[in-house]
């Protein structure tokens, strides 16, 4: 059995590494030369725990990496894992996936195989039927369901646990027509992930499931952020105790209930925008989703407002941002709230120093020499007038008064409450804890 994977980003490379390390005959295709060269040499183009080890194992077995699409002509399964970014109006941009399936269709035309094409990329409901399927049929001159299978297979992995999530998914969704191809795909997934529930549904429901999943997670975050804002007005109230307690109710669940600067990253903001945009086109006014987004935007404004309250005019003030990755365990800064914060502080002419254990290089690609990059946490505190903790890296929980004493002004704004339990010689404000704001 041969497996092709088109697009070697977080989703595609995780899948490639997991399957090839198990000995599957995998061909990974990507158009990005620099990325491919790293991958061929066993180097992951981004930081993701465990990924590089599995990639190296795969390369020692049968894994091949290429930009030559013709190599997929002998594949039994072809996974599409290219990006689906957003347009400026928030709608989904399908140009990358359209291009990828156009090429797949052209290869199919010349192939004798009857492969199953599984789309993992997140796409708005209707995309498979209105775009992907017609392109594939037109370019290949073949019929879906007869000459090849087409299945929506949304991905639920999280960056920082991408390998674990790829190895042990909580659910498999297969959307499409109930054909022999569907049976074959189900068999593959039952073999790969015995005991994991498999939901078989139609394309549009599978597409919608992914948006339902991410918009619900975003809603949980905005919910707890709104509660955290109320808590801040109640002296002594602590949002974490509230989250911990309601999280024990099985109807609620404990995950994604951590108050903070708002959700960021490559998925939640983009998927929320795409769903809102899509809902509007259907004539449904997505009032709840709009509110979730508004709360998210306000969280960042709140951090800026606290900073201004503490520092006054921000012009020429040295402000340190701890953490630019959108979450710990990754170097991904796409749609990171910390990056937004830096941009907004720069507009107010503040001098910025940043520190992040993994994403300094990525951050430098955006800001160049316009900000300072502290090599160590100690350097990040030195001469700073205000430190804002944005990402809950474990390292930051070790911050102590020796660090704080190196500051020019001892102001700490902790959006993750990492230091909330410590006795600090600082003017300390945590998001979600009622005190002297
Ligand atoms: N990152 C996540 O946590 C995550 C989780 C679940 C779902 N998703 C969804 O999965 C999809 C992929 O996300 P990602 O974060 O892995 O994206 P990514 O941007 O990290 O990777 C996409 C890759 O596709 C490559 N590519 C672009 N055009 C190509 C083409 N024509 N042929 C071959 N390769 C091509 C790019 O060079 C890039 O390496 C998106 O739709 C995303 O919304 C992402």
Q: Tell me the per-residue pLDDT of 5-41, one tens digit each, with 9 for 90 and over.
A: 999 999 999 999 999 999 999 999 999 999 999 999 9
Given 75, 231, 267, 386, the catalytic residue? 267
Neighbouring residues of 250: CB distance < 8 A, sequence distance ≥ 6 = none
In a domain, 19, yes or no: yes
Q: How far apart are CA 369 and CA 404, in angstroms?
A: 25
Same domain, residue pair 242 and 340? yes
Same domain, residue pair 140 and 265? no
CB 28 near ligand 1, within 6 Å: no
Å from CA of 100 to ligand 1 middle = 11
CB 84 near ligand 1, within 6 Å: yes
- For 167, the domain range is 2-201
CB 101 near ligand 1, within 6 Å: no
Same domain, residue pair 410 and 280? yes
pLDDT value, residue 436: 47
Same domain, residue pair 197 and 326? no
CB 31 near ligand 1, within 6 Å: yes
Distance of CA 51 to the CA centre of its chain: 16
CB 30 near ligand 1, within 6 Å: yes
Å from CA of 279 to ligand 1 middle = 24
In a domain, 293, yes or no: yes
CB 48 near ligand 1, within 6 Å: no
Å from CA of 84 to ligand 1 middle = 7
Å from CA of 6 to ligand 1 middle = 9
In a domain, 275, yes or no: yes
pLDDT value, residue 381: 98
- Give which of 79, 155, 84 is closest to 117, Cα–Cα: 79
pLDDT value, residue 434: 82
For residue 418, the SS3 value is coil
Å from CA of 10 to ligand 1 middle = 7
pLDDT value, residue 38: 98
CA 103 to ligand 1: nearest atom: 31
CB 292 near ligand 1, within 6 Å: no
Neighbours of 13 (CB within 10 A): 29
Q: E strand or H helix at 6, and its extent?
A: strand 2-6
In a domain, 364, yes or no: yes
Instruction: Kindly state the tokens that stand for 192.
Output: 């790969």
> Furthest-apart CA pair in the chain: how many Å?
72
Same domain, residue pair 310 and 172? no
CB 331 near ligand 1, within 6 Å: no
Q: Write down which residue in 176, 201, 226 finishes a domain.
A: 201
Å from CA of 96 to ligand 1 middle = 9
Å from CA of 79 to ligand 1 middle = 11
In a domain, 232, yes or no: no
In a domain, 214, yes or no: no
In a domain, 218, yes or no: no
pLDDT value, residue 437: 44
Which residue has its alpha carbon closest to ligand 1 atom 31? 100
- Give which of 266, 309, 265, 268 is closest to 292, Cα–Cα: 268
Same domain, residue pair 331 and 387? yes
DSSP states of 88-153 as a string?
TTS-B--HHHHHHHHHHHHHHHT-----EEEE-S---TTHIIIIIHHHHHHHHT--BTTTBEEEE-
Q: Write down which residue in 149, 174, 201 finishes a domain.
A: 201
Which residue has its alpha carbon closest to ligand 1 atom 19? 83
CA 10 to ligand 1: nearest atom: 16
Pocket test for ligand 1, best of 6, 8, 11, 170 (most atoms within 8 A of CB): 11
Same domain, residue pair 251 and 364? yes
CB 154 near ligand 1, within 6 Å: no
Neighbouring residues of 145: CB distance < 8 A, sequence distance ≥ 6 = 177, 179, 181
Q: Write down which residue in 201, 219, 249 finishes a domain.
A: 201
Residue 75 among the catalytic residues: no
- Give which of 156, 200, 148, 205 is closest to 174, Cα–Cα: 200
In a domain, 228, yes or no: no
Same domain, residue pair 6 and 93? yes
Same domain, residue pair 133 and 56? yes
Same domain, residue pair 143 and 251? no
- Give which of 235, 422, 388 is closest to 308, Cα–Cα: 388
Count of domains for the chain: 2
Pocket test for ligand 1, best of 155, 169, 215 (most atoms within 8 A of CB): 155
Same domain, residue pair 162 and 244? no
Same domain, residue pair 8 and 119? yes
Q: What CATH number is attached to the domain comprising 78? A: 3.40.50.720
Give the mean pLDDT per block of 10 residues along the chain (437 residues): 98 98 98 98 97 98 97 97 95 97 97 97 98 98 98 98 98 97 98 97 98 98 96 92 97 96 96 97 98 97 95 97 97 97 98 98 98 98 98 97 97 96 95 73
The four Cα atoms 40, 44, 50, 51 give a dihedral, to 10 degrees, of -60
Neighbouring residues of 432: CB distance < 8 A, sequence distance ≥ 6 = 228, 229, 231, 232, 238, 239, 240, 259, 417
Cα atoms in the Cβ-side hemisphere of radius 13 Å centred on 94: 16
């Amino acid at each position: 059995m041969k497996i092709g994977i088109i697009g070697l980003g977080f989703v595609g490379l995780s899948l490639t590494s997991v399957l090839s390390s198990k000995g599957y005959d995998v061909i990974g295709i990507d158009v990005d030369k620099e990325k491919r060269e790293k991958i061929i040499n066993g180097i992951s183009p981004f930081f993701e725990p465990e990924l590089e080890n599995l990639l190296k194992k795969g390369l020692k077995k049968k894994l091949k990496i290429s930009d030559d699409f013709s190599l997929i002509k002998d594949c039994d399964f072809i996974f599409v894992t290219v990006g689906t970014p957003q347009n400026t109006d928030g709608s989904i941009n399908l140009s990358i996936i359209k291009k990828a399936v156009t090429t797949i269709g052209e290869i199919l035309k010349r192939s004798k195989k009857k492969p199953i094409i599984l789309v993992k990329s997140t796409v708005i409901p209707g995309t498979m039927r209105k775009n992907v399927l017609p392109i594939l049929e037109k370019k290949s001159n073949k019929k879906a369901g007869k000459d090849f299978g087409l299945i929506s297979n949304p991905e639920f992995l999280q960056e920082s646990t991408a390998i674990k999530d790829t190895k042990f998914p909580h659910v498999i969704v297969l959307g499409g027509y109930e054909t022999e191809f569907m049976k074959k795909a189900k068999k593959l997934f039952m073999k790969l992930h015995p005991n994991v529930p498999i939901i078989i549904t139609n394309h549009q429901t599978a597409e919608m499931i992914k948006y339902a999943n991410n918009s619900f997670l975003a809603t949980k975050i905005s919910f707890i952020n709104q509660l955290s804002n109320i808590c801040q007005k109640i002296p002594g109230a602590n949002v974490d105790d509230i989250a911990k307690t309601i999280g024990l109710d099985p109807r609620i669940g404990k995950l994604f209930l951590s108050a903070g600067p708002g959700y960021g990253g490559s998925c939640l903001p983009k998927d929320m925008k795409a769903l809102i945009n899509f809902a509007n086109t259907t004539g449904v006014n997505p009032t709840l989703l709009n509110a979730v987004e508004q709360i998210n935007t306000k969280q960042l404004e709140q951090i800026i407002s606290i900073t201004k309250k503490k520092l006054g005019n921000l012009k020429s003030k040295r402000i340190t941002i701890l953490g630019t990755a959108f979450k710990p365990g990754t170097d991904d800064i796409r749609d990171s709230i910390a990056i937004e914060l830096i941009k907004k502080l720069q507009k107010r002419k503040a001098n910025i120093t940043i520190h992040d254990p993994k994403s300094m290089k990525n951050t430098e690609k955006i800001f160049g020499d316009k900000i300072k990059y502290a090599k160590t946490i100690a350097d990040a505190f030195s001469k700073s007038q205000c430190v804002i903790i944005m990402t809950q890296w474990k390292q930051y929980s070790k911050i102590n008064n020796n660090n704080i004493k190196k500051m020019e002004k001892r102001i700490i704004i902790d959006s993750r409450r990492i230091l909330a339990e410590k006795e600090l010689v600082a003017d300390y404000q945590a998001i979600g804890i009622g005190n002297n704001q």
